[in-house]
Every structure is written in structure tokens, then in C-alpha cells.
Chains A and B, each alone.
Chain A
Amino acid sequence: MTPGELDNWFMNNVLPLEGALMRYLRRHWRDASEISDLRQETYTRIYESAGKKLPRHARAFTFMIARNLIIDRVRRARVVSIDLVADYESLPIPSAESSVEKSFSSRQELKSLQSALDTLPGRCREVVFMRKIEGRSQRETAHALGIAESTVERQVSKGVRRLADVLYGDGRGPEDGGTSLKVAKESNR
């Protein structure tokens, strides 16, 4: 596989799992501040491994990697807080049925995108609006708003992170049937 093909495989087969992955990580790792580290490391390991040999079932593979990562971290921690992971040796791998296919409803995705857009701070929102809804180029957007192109870039950078959290369903939606312990644990450091 060429790097480009591996990139495509990753984007098409792994990224769609992020919502479910984040729910899984949050459920089994109590320190909320480390969840995006875990996600990034999961992706890194998946990508490296897939580069050597493409897994047959991306979903099972992803969760196996996430699970092993959590187990590794627990083993490495010098002081294992009882709180940290309830019973890591019996960490389950989510079954296929437990995922919620968020991309079913295109109107829902549009709505999510729209509300994400609405939560962006003023200038950022204007820029994303012009680039995505009005389809203007970076230069046209800069001219229209009377700002530098580098400023437009900065706003796009802010906006894309917010959009990504929404699109990948950062695992905190109301349809998330996860535990209510999550919120309580976030303040328990």
C-alpha cells in the first residue's frame, strides 16, 4: 500500500469509529484530561500497524488497540489508583451492535454542523461561513472581511477543531447511552 492508500484506508475505516472510540475511552479511563492523548496514541498505533499489515476488521482492531493501550498505561502507572480503571483485565471490546451509526441522517449531520458553526466565536464563524457556505477562496474571504490571509487561516484552524469534535461525535451526545459517572469523574483528580 502506498502512503496515500493507507491514508485513505485510515480515513475511511478508522475515523468513522471515533464517536464509539471516545465513548469507550471515557468509560474506561477516568482521567478526562488524558482522553485525547489516548485517542491520538490509538490512532498512531493503528496506523503504524496497518502499514505493516492491513487488519481485516478495522473496528475490532481499533478497539483491541485501545484496550491494550489502556492496559499498558495502567501497568506503567507507579501508583495505580483504584479509581483509574475499574477492572482492566476484563475490559470488554464493544460489539458491532453497540455502535450508533450517526451518519444515517444527513439532515442531522447538517444540523450538527450548523449548530457547531453557531457556537464558533464571531470572526471564526464569519470565515467558516464564507469558506464553506459561500464557497469563497481564502483570498476572497480575506478581501471581503478586510483581514490578512494569515488571519483567515488562523480562524479556519480554530473552526476545524470545533467542527471535528462535532462531526466525530465526541461521544458526549444525548443519544450516548454511556455511564453517568463520566461527568462526576472529571472533577475528581
Chain B
Amino acid sequence: MTGAPHTPSLRVEEEAADWVARCDGLLPGTDEEVIAAFSAADPAFARWVGTSVTHRVEFLRLYAAWCRADRLAALAPGERTSRRRGRRATARFAATACLLLAAFIVAFVGGLPGEPEVFRTTLGEQKTVTLADGTVVELNTDTRLTAELDADGRTIELGRGEAYFDVAHDEERPFTVRAGANRVTALGTAFNVRRNADSMKLVVADGQVKVENAADTARVQPVIARKGAMVHAGTDGALLSMAEEHEIAAALSWRRGLLVFDQMDLGSIAAEFNRYNRIKLVIADRDTAAVRIGGSFAASEVESFVRILEKDFGFDVMRQGNTFVVDDRD
């Protein structure tokens, strides 16, 4: 941008960037109500951001970008063991499996190949981890998974919850996710798996995967699901449908901390929120639960959602201990 004319928007952008940097120094990791918090801490900022809406939106724009860059942390030495950069090279050495190389790997990577690693998130927590082969896994709320990578293959056991997999290409080692009796094998890049008590929901974001039921391969045929496919797999079989782009985006919106509902019934919406929050939503009766609403909401902000239900959608909401009880006004 050197040499370009200095337009008013660039000046605002520069100032906003300076303020983002100041905020990050003063109140690092502030997500909620950042402008309110920062304004309270720094009156000069309060004056600047109050000057015009343009200042405010540019600040939000850059602040959101700075927060998204947190994803870079996935490049750091990994979650449970200290693994180095250059993971892909290390993985290929492991595949050729020479004793000398195995010793080299043990020394370098700090663990034997094939040792399962466990990853967990608590209620409302989300976490991104990078596996030894370069695969990036995003864990959603209340999730538990085990990753076992060795010379012959890469296996993930999804014990509970939901995760998005961006699979590193490795023709020699198939990547398989097990969710109950269902198996998802990656033939290409990126997909999302959600495990429910006795079923699995899969969304393929890129490439293609094979879905099969390990419990009864004789009766149930494997299914190849390509980009844009949604698969519901139960104990009896799998149902594949091709989803529209906005449906895929909605299914994956949790990765941005959002829940996206397209005219979904309030009962299901409440259940979704409850996956993420200690404060639970309770719907008063069947009629209220059947009401359909739509929108995008931050998963962790139950209180904001409840306020929207009250003010914008006209519901009655009553706080009772650790729950919000929602009732349709008529």
C-alpha cells in the first residue's frame, strides 16, 4: 500500500489498528463486550470509538481478525506431547519403519509412534489441535476423542461430541474416524462428524469420504459421500442427502462459535444451546417448543439469546436458578 493516496478510510484503519494493539496489550483475550471493557479501561479509546460509528465498525473488523488469528496457535508444539514443526517429514519416516529411524523419531518427537493421544473439551469449550501427520482437528463443546497414528494408518475414536477434521493427504495411511459403530474413512480433505448417543451426523466440506457400519458390513452397504453431502447414520444404515451451501455453512458454523438456525423449532434450538452452556434453557410447553425461529447466535451467549427471545420474538422468560424457562406469550 505504499505510495497509495492516503484516503480517510486508511486513516481510520490505522487508528483502529493502533487501538486493537493497545487493547490486546491491556486486556488480552477479551471476547465479550470488548468495546465496553476497553472504554472503561481507557478513556482516550472511549472518546475515539464514540466519535463515529465508522470508528467503531473498523475497530470491530480488526479486532475480530486479530482474534481469528489465534488459530495460529495450532502451529505451536502440540497439545499433550512436544512435537516439532516438520511433522509431515517425520510421519513419512515413520511409514518406512526402519529401526534407526524409529529411534530417531523417539528422540525427536518424544514418544513412540502409535501411542494414542486423548483430547477433551469441557462444556462450552472449543479447541483446535494439530496431529503428528498435519491433520487439523477442531473439537466442539463437550467432546472426547482419541487419536492413534502409526505406520499403517490413522485412527480417531470419537467417544462423544463433535469435531471437524481437515485431513492431511497421505495415500499410504487411510484416515478413519470411528463414531460408535460407524466408520468414516477420508479419501480427501475436510469433514465434520457429530456423534449422538446412537447415531452420527456427517457433513463433507471438501473431497470425499466413505461411510460404513462396522457392526454389520454384510447387510449395510458403504456409502461414498462427496463435498456437500450430509449423512445421518444410525444402527440400521445411513441416509445421504446433498445439502445446499447455506445448510453446510450452518452445520459448520459452530467452528466460528455460532449457532445458525433456519426456521428451527425452539425445542431443538434450546437443546443445541444446552450443549454449550451450564445455564440451561427449558421450554415451558409443547406449543412453545414447536414455534420456529431463525438467526445466527453466539453459542456461548445464552443470556443474550434469551433477551432476544423476550424483546424481539415476544416470549416470556423466567430465570429459575440455573435455568431460563421460556413460554410463548399467548
Q: Is A12's CB under 8 angstroms from B296's CB?
A: yes
A144 at interface by CB-CB < 8 Å: no
Residues of B within 8 A of A39 (CB): 9
Known: A36-B9, A36-B13, A160-B20. A96 touches B307 (CB 8 A): no
B101 at interface by CB-CB < 8 Å: no
Known: A101-B248, A105-B189, A132-B72. A161 touches B62 (CB 8 A): yes
The total of chain A residues at the interface (CB under 8 A) is 65
The total of chain B residues at the interface (CB under 8 A) is 71
Residues of B within 8 A of A52 (CB): none
Q: Is A41's CB under 8 angstroms from B54's CB?
A: yes
A164 at interface by CB-CB < 8 Å: yes
Q: Which of B13, B32, B36, B248 contacts A161 (CB 8 A)?
A: B13
CB distance from A106 to the nearest CB of B (A): 5
B47 at interface by CB-CB < 8 Å: no
Query: What mask results when residues 63 to 76 of chain B are scored 1 for a CB within 8 Å of chain A, else 0?
Result: 01110111111111
Q: Is A164's CB under 8 angstroms from B65's CB?
A: yes
Q: Which of A33, A44, A99 contacts B57 (CB 8 A)?
A: A44
How many angstroms from the CA of A162 to the CA of B258 in the assembled complex? Answer: 25
A134 at interface by CB-CB < 8 Å: yes
Within 8 A of B (CB), among A1-39: 1, 3-5, 7-13, 15-16, 18, 33-34, 36-37, 39
CB distance from A63 to the nearest CB of B (A): 15
B171 at interface by CB-CB < 8 Å: no
Residues of A within 8 A of B34 (CB): 7
* Interface of B (DSSP majority class): helix
Residues of B within 8 A of A138 (CB): 24-25, 28
A176 at interface by CB-CB < 8 Å: no
B120 at interface by CB-CB < 8 Å: no
A72 at interface by CB-CB < 8 Å: no
Q: Is B17's CB under 8 angstroms from A12's CB?
A: no
How many angstroms from the CA of A114 to the CA of B73 in the assembled complex? Answer: 11
CB distance from A136 to the nearest CB of B (A): 10
Q: Is A44's CB under 8 angstroms from B54's CB?
A: yes
Known: A113-B71, A160-B20, A161-B17. A104 touches B9 (CB 8 A): no
A35 closest partner in B (C-beta): B9
Residues of B within 8 A of A187 (CB): none
CB distance from A9 to the nearest CB of B (A): 8
Q: Is B64's CB under 8 angstroms from A15's CB?
A: yes
B18 at interface by CB-CB < 8 Å: yes
B10 at interface by CB-CB < 8 Å: yes
Residues of B within 8 A of A12 (CB): 256-258, 296, 298
Q: Is A104's CB under 8 angstroms from B206's CB?
A: yes
Within 8 A of B (CB), among A78-119: 96-97, 99, 101, 103-110, 113-114, 117
Q: Is B65's CB under 8 angstroms from A48's CB?
A: no
Query: What mask results when residues 47 to 85 of chain B are scored 1 for a CB within 8 Å of chain A, else 0?
Result: 000001110111011101110111111111000000000
Q: Is A107's CB under 8 angstroms from B190's CB?
A: yes
B205 closest partner in A (C-beta): A104
Q: Is A107's CB under 8 angstroms from B76's CB?
A: no
Q: Is A132's CB under 8 angstroms from B69's CB?
A: yes
Known: A43-B57, A44-B53, A132-B73. A160 touches B65 (CB 8 A): yes
Residues of B within 8 A of A73 (CB): none
Other A-B contacts than A11-B60, A96-B246, A160-B62, 12 sampled, CB-CB below 8 A, are: A8-B298, A37-B7, A39-B9, A41-B54, A105-B190, A114-B75, A128-B72, A131-B24, A152-B25, A153-B25, A155-B21, A160-B20
5 tightest CB-CB pairs across the interface, nearest first?
A164-B65, A156-B21, A138-B25, A107-B166, A157-B21
Query: Which residues from chain A sit less than 8 Å from chain B, CB to CB?
Result: 1, 3-5, 7-13, 15-16, 18, 33-34, 36-37, 39-41, 43-44, 46-48, 54, 58, 96-97, 99, 101, 103-110, 113-114, 117, 128, 131-135, 137-138, 149, 152-158, 160-161, 163-164, 167-168
